[in-house]
Structure 1
Amino acid sequence: MKPPPGFSVIREPYIYALVDENWVPYLRERGLLDPSDLFEGLLSPTFKGRGELLLVDEEVLVIKRNRHGGILGFLLGDLFLDGSRVHRELLLLWRLKKAEVPTLVPVASIGKKVGLFWKQFLITQYLHGADDMLSFLQATTDAKRRLTVLKRAGEVVSKMHDLGVYHGDLQLKNLLVRGEEVFVIDLDKSKQRIPLPMSMRFKNLLRLMRSVEKAEAKGLIGLSLKEKVAFWLGYKKGKGHIYKRELRKRLKLHPFRRLIWRLGWFLEGLISRLFVKYIA
């Protein structure tokens, strides 16, 4: 894969990496071009989601180890057949940064060959003082600040879509908040298609809406209609006549969609409990 400007390709035994040229000496000196050993025997990563995150060097860098979710996670853990996935994520991060969409600063994408499989790691600069959107909404009671941040979130997601980027997992935990800034993160499984079709835009927005409603159903947060409209006002940016028509189409099916979501959450919880009981 061709690296973005300012990045070098590093090929070593079992390692293929795209690295910011300014960071090559630093990563070599600290042995971070093969970060797999850092995760071996690690019982509690700094953060954990679909991937696992580890802060290193006094919170200068974050290393994300990609892992499968669900049953695949139990069977394969961090082993992938597709060795280019993490490099595509770095490329999308670089493109968003270049277009001034708030996101993490990419440092390196690293693939380590293990037999037929790859272990994959993404290194980014650590974003100090940021919380994910779910934590922000749980902790913040200032109504004006909540409205400002939600509107800004709509603007950031809209700009990402204008660049043709479809987020592979657009949800509350993949939006970070620092002050009144909003950053989009975790572009694993994301893709770029220019222009991004309206159907893909709304599929992404519905995924975000689903994560909001799931958090509300669990009693973790509560968003007022005014707050949901604030996000929409940020997103539509002068194109309201186009999006309004599309939104109306999709809202007709929303009660049915919500029912399906709730059924899915119930089954997801049931299967998870049975699976945990089985492996125990």
Structure 2
Amino acid sequence: MQIKQTSSGAIAYCDATPETISVPWFTFDYWQSQGAITGSSKGRYTTWFVKPNMAETDKSEWVLRHYYRGGLMEKISKDSYFYTGLKNTRAVAELSLLELLYSEGFEVPRPIAANVERNGLYYRADIIIERVEGAQDLVAQLSKSPMSDLQWQQLGACIAKFHQRGVYHADLNAKNILITPDKFYLIDFDRGEIRTPNPKWQGANLERLLRSFRKELAKLPTLAFNETNWQSLMQGYSNP
């Protein structure tokens, strides 16, 4: 990872990122002016998909995400965080973790860059990652068609691989898992970290995921998920 100082803070970027990267790259207005906005994903806030290279032969897209607070702190400050050093910022920490995992061959998006803009004791931040081609989140998949027992087992084995490495995902839920025709990916590693493997936090991770499946099922009763599916996932997790 390399660091580029800016007038308002700093940009951290990975080796494959062009050194021409600048602060405007982290804004919707810049990509809109380039005619490069290709879509969006709407949750509590909007995440933008952009096409950085307009060449017809290049199909890669980037995902631009701004960091927003949640919970009670959101009422105090929507997107401002206390600054304790560049490496401790949520954007740079996530980029660093993704860079490590990607280099080790884990199923995560390729990291591109992170932007940190300081204002006194506080900062705001953004991150750019590469969009996983041909992927959709698990809720979208299960709302249309079921997965086989083998796929559920493969998902369990995928999660086990991360846990065995000590990867703690702070928000492991069904929407933060992507599925492609041949594998699963984990996304959104905000507040994630490498920990010593331990059944306590690993079990809590899995319980959070199960709660998310049940929550999505309550919202959409036709969702292709049941307790037998979860048992298959756990079978794959226990025997990766």
Would you call these one fold, judging by a TM-score over 0.5?
Answer: yes
Residue 267 of structure 1 corresponds to which residue in structure 2?
none
Q: Tell me: higher relative CO, structure 1 or 2? Use CA pairs within 8 A at least 6 residues apart.
A: 2
Q: 1:136 to 1:10 in 2, by over 3 A?
A: same
Aligned-pair CA distance for 1:50: 5.5
Structure 1 unaligned residues grouped into runs of 5+: 1-6, 40-44, 239-280
Output the CA distance in 2 between the equivalents of 1:36 and 1:119: 15
Residues 79-94 of structure 1: pairs in structure 2 closer than 5 A: 79-82=80-83, 84-94=89-99
1:77 aligns with 2:78: yes
Instruction: Identify which of 51, 54, 61 aligns with 2:48.
Output: 54
1:1-280 correspondence runs (5 A): 7-28=1-22, 31-32=24-25, 34-35=26-27, 46-49=40-43, 52-57=46-51, 60-82=61-83, 84-141=89-146, 145-194=147-196, 196-220=197-221, 221-237=223-239
**How far apart are 1:116 and its partner, in Å?**
2.7
Contact 2:178 2:185 in 1 (8 A): yes
One-letter code of the match for 1:35?
A: T
Q: Secondary structure at the match of 2:163?
A: helix
Q: Greater helix percent: which structure?
A: 1
1:178-218 Cα distance to aligned partner (Å, 9 max, x none): 11311000000112112x21101001000001101111222
- Alpha carbons 1:50, 1:69 under 8 Å: kept: no
CA distance in 2, matches of 1:51, 1:93: 22
Q: Structure 1 residues 152 and 189 mapped into 2: Cα distance closer, same or farther (>3 Å)?
A: same
What percent of counterpart residues are identical?
23
TM-score (norm 1): 0.72
Judging changes above 3 Å, is the alpha-carbon distance between structure 1 residues 70 and 79 closer, same or farther for their aligned structure 2 residues?
same
Cα distance, 1:37 vs structure 2: 5.4
- In 1: Cα distance, 2:102 partner to 2:14 partner: 14
Matched positions, count: 222
- Post-superposition shift, 1:26? 4.9
Task: Name the CA distance, whole Å, in 1 between partners of 2:93 and 2:201.
Answer: 19
Equivalent-residue separation in structure 1 for 2:148 and 2:236 (angstroms): 13
Residues 135-191 of structure 1: per-residue CA shift (max 9 Å, x gap): 1111114xxx43233222111111111111111100000000111311000000112
Contact in 2 for aligned 1:96/1:160 (Cα 8 Å): no
Amino acid at match of 1:176: L
RMSD, aligned α-carbons: 2.5
**Closer, same or farther in 2 for the Cα pair 1:66/1:74, shift >3 Å?**
same
Paired with 1:163 and 1:199, the residues of 2 have a C-alpha distance of 15
- TM-score where L is the length of structure 2: 0.83
**Amino acid paired to 1:61:** W
Q: Per the alignment, do residues 51 and 103 of structure 1 end up closer, same or farther by CA in structure 2, a change over 3 Å counting?
A: farther
Residue identity matched to 1:125? E
Q: Distance in 2 between matches of 1:55 and 1:222?
A: 27
Give every structure 1 segment of 4 or more consecutive aligned residues whose post-TM-superposition deviation is greater than 6 Å. Answer: none
Residues 11-31 of structure 1 show CA distances to partners (whole Å, capped at 9, x for unaligned) of 121121211233233524x94
Corresponding position of 2:34: none
Larger radius of gyration: 1
